Amino acid sequence: MANVRHTSLGTALRYRGREGMWTWILHRATGLGILLFLIIHVIDTAIIIYWPGEYDVALGIYKHPVFRFAELLIFFSVLYHAVNGLRIVIQDFWPYVMQRQRQLVWATAVIVVLAMLPVTWIMLAPIFGLAQEPGTARSEVRCSEARNAHAPACVNPEGEVAL
């Protein structure tokens, strides 16, 4: 094909596109990553309408500490994609700000990093025993109600599911 170009990954990464290039690569990578997770997430959640028990088994896998890092990565991906996407929309509809596009990229990075600090603490601290799991107080209220006494998360708060 006339349009096929052969550029190695190394050559592509040595291209010095600075901030614009890296935000573009990260936007694409996070977008494709989110789409892949979305497909898996839809399938695991949809089984709840026929097999709630199997849903709890699938949740038992998600509750493993290893997956907490994956969930944090998904959180970062969505947050970055959202803030960077907002930057793109603003630049598209208000071309005047393109004169400051490099500063806007850095503003995006600062917003994402600042937001990720508390999110990272809330999601990771509990698996190292440094803080309670988020939602523990809510969960205790819920589990104290008689009708929820046999709810899987109340019976087994550690989240381990016998397979």
Partner 1 sequence: MSAPAQVAERGTPRRGGGYAKPRKAGGGNFELISWFFMRLSGLLLIFLALYHLVWWNLIVGVAHLDSQVVIERWNNPFWRLFNVALVTFAMLHGLNGARYSIEDYVRRPGRQVAVKAVVYTLVLGSLLVAVFALLTFDPAVLVNR
Tokens of 83: 């803030």
Non-local (6+) Cβ contacts of 161 within 8 A are: 56, 57, 59, 60, 63, 152
Interaction of residue 145 with partner 1, rule CB under 8 A? no
Place of tokens 């936007």: 27
Taking the CA of residue 157 as centre, how many other CA atoms within 13 Å lie in the half-sphere pointing to its CB? 15
Binding to partner 1, residues 7-66 (CB under 8 A) = 28, 31-32, 34-35, 38-39, 42-43, 45-46, 48-49, 52-53, 55-56, 59, 62-63
**Number of helices and strands in the chain (H, E):** 7, 0
Question: CB of 72: closest distance to partner 1 in angstroms?
Answer: 9
Q: Given the rule CB under 8 A, which of 14-22, 103-111, 138-146 is the region that contacts partner 1?
A: 138-146
Cα dihedral value 44, 56, 62, 114, nearest 10 = 90
Which DSSP string do the residues of 20-40 spell out, in sequence order? HHHHHHHHHHHHHHHHHHHHH
Binding to partner 1, residues 85-124 (CB under 8 A) = 85-86, 89, 92-93, 95, 98, 119, 122-123
Question: CB of 121: closest distance to partner 1 in angstroms?
Answer: 10
Tokens of 21: 């290039």
Question: CB of 154: closest distance to partner 1 in angstroms?
Answer: 8
8 Å CB contact between 47 and 55: yes
| 26 vs 159 by CB, closer to partner 1 | 159
Residues in contact with partner 1 by CB under 8 A are: 1-6, 28, 31-32, 34-35, 38-39, 42-43, 45-46, 48-49, 52-53, 55-56, 59, 62-63, 68, 71, 74-75, 78-79, 82, 85-86, 89, 92-93, 95, 98, 119, 122-123, 126, 133-136, 138-139, 142, 148, 151-154, 157, 159
